[in-house]
Amino acid sequence: MQARAVSTARCQEGEDPPDYASELLATARAVTDEIGDPPAGPVLRARTLARMATLRIDKRIVLRFPRITVASFRVDIPADPPLAVPEVAPADVAECLTREGVEVALIADAPPIRTWREVFSVAGLKPSTYKSSPEALARRFLKGGAIPTPLPLVNLYCAVSAKHLAPLGGYDLERLDAVAASRDVVLRFAKPGDRFAPLGGRPDDFALRSDIPVYACGSEVVCWAFNVRDSAATSLVEATRHALFVGEALNEDQSDRLISAITELRDTLQLAGFACGAVTSADATQPTSSAREPSEPGRSPLSGSPLSRYRD
């Protein structure tokens, strides 16, 4: 189960959408200029490029949500020996929320939650039924519950998401490879031909209408309505070895919360010994970002992160 699944638990107008292939090639050239050609030449470079995960915000999403930010990072998870994922006590999450003045009865009025409810209402979704992932998670923690999954990595990012009232989702990169020809994950509106296998839900309950924002890899929807429900086809599983974490924000307050949440998640995993890539972001002025290859454990968590510009 994913944090986004716990509902039960720089484009200006008139410009063309970004050319993904050209931007990816430019990224490869920049890397080659910086570190030199790898020993195996273009074959190895092509293989390395194929392992990259790219996040792109579609032009129509930017026009509808001009202050949108999508942040992400990649982490590698060793199998042998396995690493222990840090735990966060549910009571600690609830205490953080309570200190901020967030209560179960009034959570719908909390600014970061109210924004999601307003967006969902405009899209024709009933907010009390289709809750944003941070709202669903915060409600659970405030009621004294925990996230009942057998996956410590999922439990960790659910706790961090709830603590900051910021949506976070985790995806298995190898499972993405199984459903699409590339790792180009696009935040766009749903369109005819899309497929969605909702985690813990029925497809009929999650309409793929043209006014519903989704994350999609090819025609496979990996998350529905921004952050409401993840796909069972690409979610994290016990065998996950390469994960991509993603979160989004629609205004300045949400952006601050997202930066804090995704940075805390990455820092926590890095300090526990996991190899993590830098946090990168996409927004209206730069709608494409690439999830960087993980660095060796122990490197500065914010080294080279474009998000550092928000922290000045």
SS (H, E, C) 162-206: HHHCCCCEEEEHHHHHHHCCCCEEEEEECCCCCECCECCCCHHHC
Write down the pLDDT at residue 8: 34
Q: What is the pLDDT of residues 85-142, one digit of tens each?
A: 999 999 999 999 999 999 999 999 999 999 999 999 999 999 999 999 999 999 999 9
Q: Decide if 115 is inside a domain.
A: yes
Q: Decide if 32 is inside a domain.
A: no
How many distinct structural domains can be found in the chain? 1
User: Does residue 165 contact residue 138 with C-beta atoms inside 8 Å?
Assistant: yes
What is the torsional sign of CA 98, 104, 105, 108? positive
Write down the pLDDT at residue 40: 38
What is the torsional sign of CA 178, 181, 186, 191? negative
Cα separation, 243 vs 26, in Å, equals 24
DSSP character string of 215-256: EEETTEEEEETTTTEEBTTTB--TT--EEEEEEEESSHHHHH
Write down the pLDDT at residue 297: 61
Write down the pLDDT at residue 52: 80
Q: Decide if 26 is inside a domain.
A: no
CATH number at residue 174: 3.50.40.10
Q: What is the pLDDT of residues 260-279, one digit of tens each?
A: 999 999 999 999 999 999 99
Q: Decide if 19 is inside a domain.
A: no
The domain in which residue 301 lies consists of 3-10+53-311
Q: Decide if 74 is inside a domain.
A: yes
Classify residue 225 as left (phi > 0), alpha (psi -120 to 50) or beta.
Answer: left
Q: Decide if 256 is inside a domain.
A: yes
- Residue ranges in the chain whose pLDDT is less than 50: 1-2, 5-50, 298-312
Q: What angle do CA 215, 48, 39 make, to 5 degrees?
A: 170
Q: Decide if 69 is inside a domain.
A: yes
Q: Decide if 234 is inside a domain.
A: yes
CA 229 vs CA 9, 37, 307: distances in Å: 10, 41, 26
